[in-house]
Structure 1
Amino acid sequence: MYSPNKNNLADNQPYKIYEIKKTNQESIPGYLVVSTAKLNVETEEENSSRNLTQITHREFFNTNRGEAEFSTENMIKKITKNLESSSEPEIIINIHGYSSTPSDTEIGCRNIYDYINTNIQQPNKYVFIGYRWPSENPVQTDESGSFIQKVINSFSSLPILLAINLGLGLTISILSTISLLFFNFYKNINISIFTISLILSGIVSSTIFTLILLRLSTYFRDIYRASNYGVIDLIELLRQLDYNVKLPPHKRIKLSFIGHSMGCFVVTNVIRILSDIFDVKSINKKPDSDIGNVFRLGRLVLVAADIPVESILPGRANFLRSSLRRCEEAYVFCNEGDLALRFTSTAANYFSFPARTRISGYRLGNITVKHFNNKKDSVGHIPRYGVINLVKQDYEQACRFDNPYKYLEIRSSNSEHRSLQEISQISEQEIQPADLFSYFDCTDYKDERSKQVGIVSCAIKKPAINFGDYIFLTWAFIQKSINSRDPQGVDTHTGYFEGNFSQKAIYELAFLGFDSFLESLLIEGEETEKIQAFSEKCQEKQIQVILSPQLYQQKAQE
């Protein structure tokens, strides 16, 4: 059996580790792990002898000491020591999404680090790791060059056949246009041949230009990097820790994740690979949370998840079902109006995702609480907020939660919507993948930071966001992109990390778990039941919540 060692690590160097500067001696230890894979394969060799990573915000990290002290091997030892010295060790890993720049990752990593050290403050328990895989921003200057250089590269890297077709198409289009105008003006002869040539050449040219635009979007290039660099390099980090950490019997390191956008794709694939398919408990479909020698899967928080909605449906096509059972708690933060997922991701995945209908091609980050009774219903009901699947027969009985799959749907308008029960045949005789998650539908979410509009949409409180509403939402998104402080602007994809309540929920669910998160919401002396107080808080914020009965039935009865 292959065992990692320091020579393997030094030779391959799949990542570099930077320590986050502590705010005080009692701070939770934090690290930034950066994959050394390059954006373009051609630059791998010419940069092999250089420092393969560059920290933009050096004031966040300890980078000014000796190179030997901050070698990957020594940083692994440092993380190992932190874990071994803890009585209840936990690692929380945050993973960014598509088109994230190094600066975005570093600032996001530091924001989480500052939040947990201000609000959680348990330095002897947690180790925080921000993980950066090689993502490329379409417009900003990076290893691929400026935007102009990226456009030039897109044309110069065209396969010969496509380049020839593009050249011929443009030439024929120009000649046909000139001939069409010339003969139409002077000769008045039959010009159908020129019209047909112009149409055909236009189709060929526009098709190739579409491929160039898809390349310039960097979406598929990021998918490749996430699959072949992001996933593999993170697994290598965990493998090194699993090999180096020495714990007494029956002691495990809880491993939790926060994934955003395409980072959710990285997270879920890492969990799939970490799950031991030869484990007897997995074969019997009763897997526990233990993986490897020292790890135990803890909490999984998916924010604006850029993965198929298929991941919560039953059936052979769901490739995550068995591995997700291993997580102790799992959450989805979603939004009907997420423009990046609704349009960009859905359009890009149209070419690759094996779906027969448009509704099946939507992403998990667009899943919503059901507002329509059936697919023919075009009216729908006004959203109600709080914990939607909370059931109480009378006041003397404890809380009970109905199955989440009954309350979920995918929709894009009043006329296009399907509940999970309409998309797939679901049996009540067994646990459904959708029931393993708890859902925070933030479509109408408002809080102190955005009183005029919503945090991740315009918060119009309608059964569905329709065409006209999407126009206004797109304009609000553009306003936010131009001026991040515009009170009318809306960040539909990453706004979750800006809202006070949503930020608290994401970070504290990942670090503390649901029960401790509820305790943090209670006012001293208040006698209201935990779940009821939580539901009232969500009603105030206009968030719809569906809780997993598999995880919280016992908590609600306590």
Structure 2
Amino acid sequence: MNTQITPPPLPQEWKAESVDNDSRWLESIIKNTAPFSDAWIKARIVQLTYPPPPNYHNPSRELGGDCPYLAASSIAEVLERLHDLCPDRAVYSFFDRQVDEAYITRALFAWDNHKFTQSIGRNFEVFQDRTHPNVFLVTSTATPSLDADRKLPDPGRFRPLFNVDELGAIVAERGCEQLTLRTHGYATPSKIFYPLFSQEADALTADDRISGDTRDRSRSDRALNPNQFYIGYHWPSEQPITSAGLWTDFSQHRGILWKFTFVLGGFAGILGTLIWILLKGFALPILSLGHAIPGIAQLWEWLKFGETAKVAATWYWIVPTLFLFWIVMMHGFRILVYQRDLYRAIHYGSPDLAEFFWRLDAAIAQTEVEGEGSPKHLPPIRVNAIGHSMGACLLVNTLRILSDRFGKDDLDVEIGAQLDRDDLEASYIGKYLLLDKLVLASPDIPLEFLREGRNNYVRSAMRRCRQIYLMSSDRDAVLRYMPTLGNWFIEPSIEMSGYRLGNVFLQRQNPEDPNSRYVPKIRNMFEWQEAVIPTSAYDLFRRFNYLDCSEIEAVNGIRANLTHWSGPAIDLGNMTLFVLRSLPLSLGSKLPEFDLHGGYFFTDTLTFRIIRLLIASETDSPEELQERIWEAIAGSPIRFLPSDSRLR
């Protein structure tokens, strides 16, 4: 039974009780969404049917200074105006095909029936690189703060797609065989990620061959083929200290700030009072007994400790000192944005990315049904995922969500007892998308996260990936200390906050035998231990391909051998060089370029070449990929432990 959809009478009239809210909402959508995307067009449609709201004195300057409100009297007039606004209907061909009078009618019907949120309810946007047609950018529509606007990609470099349906049509039309999605980590706002991703796209699409024989494409560090897509994903990360959203929060919500200060002052006052009572009633009387002992009495007089303690107790200095310390510490954690970013990664970034994957799968299926030129049966599309730092945590949570949506296969069987066909079926996250490689670069994930009895649902999701590569560094002092400090109050165990998967390094089982096998180790400060004790649940760690990058120049500035006593000194030296290198001074520019935490993605490094090898390779053979990695790292300080070396 078809329901007749009729638009409201045009032009529309503002309701006095909601005009301010409605107009601000529409203008916010226009400001925070990509021009000529589905949500942007629907907001413009509604605006065009209204006259300017009362007291409106700020007409939009983004489209030639025209006022966005037209008070159109017909659907045809709205359609004509939209076509006039479109800069190039050949470039925005999907917009030209989709936006007609029926589309406008549905948008106005949704607005009039309070279903507009559902109508524009995609939590991500898709952009296509104008330079490289097989490179795309996906951005979460969540903002870092309620009072901060999104920063959209450069329209000169990235063209916004109509929605994910247009990407699905491009995937089907070009016969895409492989998708690689790369996401960033902590403290990477859009203004930092967009240029970095553009540099990576340029490097990945440059045909830089290793082999002199250009006919041997299997032995070349070649560019991505047209049927291999590279997608960057930006979730709402925030820059520490300087982010506008941090200080806007304080200025816009002074009441909450005062409430926090009141509660914190209350706790500080209670604790300070208890300390004062102990000092005044117990500590000073006990210490004063030592005044009768000659040796202690002389020391007492020399240090004037008794007078100092009495003044402190009398004037109650301990309370304001403690209160100010807590204020500095608590706000210090907030402006470092570590826990804020962690919350956004798990609760915004992961669900939005999972929605992108299942909507893309549905869009590809739709093109198979509707497209006249599409093949009847599209082949599966291999999906690679690259996560850096906190982005790796985001990815494993995304895999968990997708695993829940498309069915759980725990695969709790003896290794090798399951047929390859069953493993292949377990790797599907939809009808067409097949999980292939998962690359975790310096992942900010607790080492305990993958053990049996600790987040088993994530283990089940990660085992859907056919190959897992871990790029880690023992010299990553940022990952070693920041999560320990930031997660001290929230991780279930101290070990989870102190040991991160990205700090795993490889060491010979017998240091005196250069031919003995590597063993994954983890270091705290002075000592190290095996990364995981073999148990019946050891299979997930055995599936990892370990790449220990601790000693490469991109992520390490101190060339010193690791010993039980040199570790902290190496960390301190690396952190000092890292801070100096970040300063806008001539001294910093003279230091070698390295990044303790993110140097893996410098486009001129061996680690990036390995990443390029993993995602551009057309082979499905893990053994062949391992052979190429051995060739690439020959003579370098990178240590490699393939996943099958402990299965023999």
TM range (shorter): 0.7 to 0.9
Say whether 1:260 aligns with 2:388. yes
Contact 1:28 1:128 in 2 (8 A): no
**Distance (Å, rounded) in 1 between the aligned partners of 2:203 and 2:140:** 24
Structure 1 regions of 5+ residues with no counterpart? 63-69, 174-183, 374-380, 390-405, 447-453, 521-529, 554-558
2:498 aligned partner, one-letter code: G
Separation in 2 of the partners of 1:29 and 1:343?
A: 38
Q: 2:432 aligns with which of 282, 286, 294?
A: 294
> How far off its partner does 1:159 sit?
5.5
Residue 199 (structure 2) pairs with residue 94 (structure 1): no
- 2:558 partner letter: C
Counterpart of 1:419? Answer: 530
Distance in 1, matches of 2:635 and 2:317, equals: 59
Residues in 2 aligned to 1:151 and 1:409: alpha-carbon distance in whole angstroms: 46
Aligned to 2:137: 32
Match of 2:507 in 1: 370
Residue of structure 2 in register with 1:456 after alignment: 556
1:433-452 to structure 2, matched below 5 A, reads 433-446=540-553
For each residue in 1:233-291, what CA deviation from the matched residue of structure 2 results, as whole angstroms up to 9, or x when unmatched? Answer: 11121121121112544722222111111111111100111114784743665652112
Instruction: Between the two structures, name the one with larger relative contact order (CA 8 Å, sep ≥ 6).
Output: 1
The answer as to 2:155 corresponding to 1:105 is: no
Cα distance in 1 for partners of 2:144, 2:598 equals 23
Could you tell me which residue of structure 1 aligns to residue 279 of structure 2?
Answer: none
Q: Distance in 2 between matches of 1:425 and 1:550?
A: 15
Aligned to 1:526: none
User: Which residue matches 1:349?
Assistant: 487
Does the alignment pair 1:535 with 2:630?
yes
After the TM superposition, which residues 150-165 of structure 1 pair with which residues of structure 2 at under 5 Å, given as runs? 158=260, 160-165=262-267
For the residues of structure 2 that align with 1:253 and 1:351, how far apart are their CA atoms?
Answer: 42
AA in 2 matched with 1:105: F
Q: Take 2:476 and 2:642, find their aligned partners in 1: how far apart are those partners?
A: 22
When structure 1 is superposed on structure 2, of 276-285 and 454-463 the one drifting more is 276-285
1:124 counterpart = 2:226: yes
Using the size of structure 1 for normalisation, the TM-score is 0.73
* Counterparts in 2 of 1:337 and 1:149: CA distance versus 1, 3 Å: farther
- Provide the aligned C-alpha RMSD in A: 4.1
Alignment partner, residue 76 of structure 2:
none
Residue 473 of structure 1 and its aligned partner are, at CA, apart by 1.3
Which residue identity lines up with residue 85 of structure 1 in the other structure?
A: E
| Residue 135 (str. 1) matches residue 240 (str. 2) | no
Match of residue 30 from structure 2:
none
| C-alpha distance in 2 between matches for 1:53 and 1:383 | 55
- Measure the CA separation in 1 of the matches of 2:253 and 2:442: 29
Alpha-carbon distance in 1 for matches of 2:513, 2:320: 50
> Separation in 2 of the partners of 1:501 and 1:154?
49
Distance 1:487 1:340, change over 3 A: same
| Contact residue 236 and residue 345 of structure 2 kept, 8 A | yes
Conserved? CA contact 1:166–1:208, under 8 Å: no
What is the aligned partner in structure 1 of residue 334 from structure 2?
A: 215
Q: How far apart, CA to CA, are the structure 2 residues paired with 1:153 and 1:337?
A: 43
CA distance in 1, matches of 2:459, 2:173: 34
Supply the AA of the counterpart residue of 2:137: L
Change (3 A) 1:155 1:53: closer
- How far apart are the structure 1 equivalents of 2:378 and 2:646? 23
Question: Equivalents in 2 of 1:108, 1:320: separation in Å?
Answer: 29
Matched, 1:506 2:611: yes
Percent of pairs identical after alignment? 23
Aligned to 2:522: 410
Distance 1:85 1:11, change over 3 A: closer
- Cα displacement string for residues 452-499 of structure 1 (whole angstroms, at most 9, x for unaligned residues): xx5434242334652222221121111221256433453100111125
Amino acid in structure 2 at the alignment position of 1:420: A
Give the conservation status (yes or no) of the 8 Å contact 1:155–1:212. no
2:406 and 2:429 in contact (8 A); partners too: no
Distance in 1 separating the partners of 2:252 and 2:470:
35
Change (3 A) 1:11 1:87: closer
Equivalent position SS for 2:347: helix
Question: Map of 1:292-331 to 2, 5 A cutoff?
Answer: 292-331=430-469
Which of 363, 383, 397 matches 1:244? Answer: 363
Is the aligned partner of 1:20 residue 2:115?
no
SS at match of 2:130: coil
Counterpart of 1:449?
none
| Length-normalised TM-score, structure 2 | 0.64
* Residue 126 of structure 1: how far off its partner (Å): 1.9
Aligned mates of 1:106, 1:445 — CA distance in 2:
26
Structure number with bigger Rg: 2
